[in-house]
Amino acid sequence: MKKIIVTGGAGYIGSHTVVELIEAGYTPIIVDNLCNTSIQNIKGIEKIIDKKIKWHNTDCTNKSAMDKVFATEGKIEGAIHFAAYKAVEESVQNPQKYYDNNLGSLKVLLQCMSDNSIKNIIFSSSCTVYGMPDVLPVDENALFKKAESPYGETKQICEGMLKDDTCNSVALRYFNPIGSHSSALIGDCSADKPSNLVPIITEVAIGKRKKITVFGDDYNTPDGTCIRDYIHVVDLAKSHVKAMNFLIKNSGKHAFNVGTGIGVSVLEAIKVFEESNNITINYTIGPRRDGDIEQIYANGSLVKSKLGWEAKETLEQAMISAWNWEKSKK
């Protein structure tokens, strides 16, 4: 059973990936201080897998604390690094928080890996590294343009850190993860108020909010609202298993887009949620929001050819699972 350190493993994407790693025969070791998630996800993972999970309540930016984790765990095959702040809007308002944490945690992890002769790392990157792409769907050869937010810039810098390091790495450039595990036992437990579209939709649906504000309807898109590539979080989690399998057999530096390749506007996403769950969502149109790009969706041909991965779940399935997760939190 190959041990994998999973920083941020109690978070939204991390918790789903831990479940998939276990099902694939790996032994994930969670490192997460719960600064932006909840122990609910740890308990949820344990209910899904029907056993205890190894978890270190540790700050990933603390080198001495991380040294203890690696010393305790012994032989480790690789790491998957999720631990980072992730709200685009907050990063615009408080950039230093994002530089300190997102860069600092990767720096410490790479140092610990080097100290312990661990070579393989999967990095949780983002399509925000592309800025506003010139060509859609965007592929991995697109040049990085100026990031539209400090969050996006931290992902660009982190990918540069990986290229300069001696490790073998895969940067998975996520598009827009949504939904939850079919059990509704794990999901997005972010401590902050949600800033992403689908969690806000579900909060309106359940009555936590009166309405959703759509930020801008004057973009150069068919209905004037931003277009994104929404991927089911379970599909996304499975891409990490494929990436680790690949990296164990293939050295070097790699980057892959992880999306569906389908662009969906904000208004279209709201409509799909309504139709999938038979609920009406109140929304209003507001001004554009700082840090948002107009439209982006993935060219996924490389990840399919190299990792054998492609999205399987539909947008409707993702919206149903997102609603089931919201209802489970009552």
Query: CB-hemisphere CA count at 13 Å for 54?
Result: 14
User: What range does the domain containing 146 cover?
Assistant: 3-179+231-259
3-state secondary structure of 298: strand
Residue 97 Rama label (left phi>0; alpha psi -120 to 50; beta): alpha
pLDDT at residue 327 in the model:
96
| pLDDT reading at 142 higher than 70 | yes
Rounded mean pLDDT of the chain? Answer: 96
Task: Say which range, 102-106, 145-149, 159-163, 247-251, has the weakest mean pLDDT.
Answer: 145-149
- Contacts of 298-301 with C-beta under 8 Å, sequence gap 24+, read 298/127, 298/137, 298/138, 298/173, 298/175, 298/229, 298/257, 298/258, 298/259, 298/260, 298/261, 299/137, 299/138, 299/139, 299/140, 299/257, 299/261, 300/137, 300/257, 300/258, 300/259, 300/260, 300/261, 301/139
- Residue 57 located in a structural domain: yes
Active site residue 283: no
Spatial separation of the C-alpha atoms in residues 229 and 44, rounded to whole Å: 27
- Residue 297 located in a structural domain: no
Number of domains in the chain: 1
- Residue 108 located in a structural domain: yes
pLDDT at residue 192 in the model:
73
- Residue 203 located in a structural domain: no
- Residue 56 located in a structural domain: yes
- Residue 70 located in a structural domain: yes
pLDDT at residue 290 in the model:
81
Q: Once rounded to an integer, what is the mean pLDDT over residues 163-172?
A: 97
* pLDDT above 70: percentage of residues in the chain: 100
Q: Once rounded to an integer, what is the mean pLDDT over residues 257-266?
A: 98
What type of residue sits at position 76? I
Contact in structure between 124 and 8 (CB atoms under 8 Å): yes
What type of residue sits at position 318? A
| pLDDT reading at 330 higher than 80 | no
Q: From the candidates 85, 98, 130, 151, which is the catalytic residue?
A: 151
Least Cα distance to 179 among 234, 226, 227, 125 occurs for 234
pTM of the model: 0.97
The DSSP line for 198-240 is HHHHHHHHHTSSS-EEEE-S-SSSTTSS-EE-EEEHHHHHHHH
- Residue 19 located in a structural domain: yes
Spatial separation of the C-alpha atoms in residues 180 and 178, rounded to whole Å: 7
Q: What is the pLDDT of residues 82-112, one digit of tens each?
A: 999 988 888 999 999 999 999 999 999 999 9
The enclosing domain of 75 has a CATH number of 3.40.50.720
Spatial separation of the C-alpha atoms in residues 138 and 153, rounded to whole Å: 18
Q: Which two tokens stand for residue 109?
A: 């992890």
- Residue 277 located in a structural domain: no
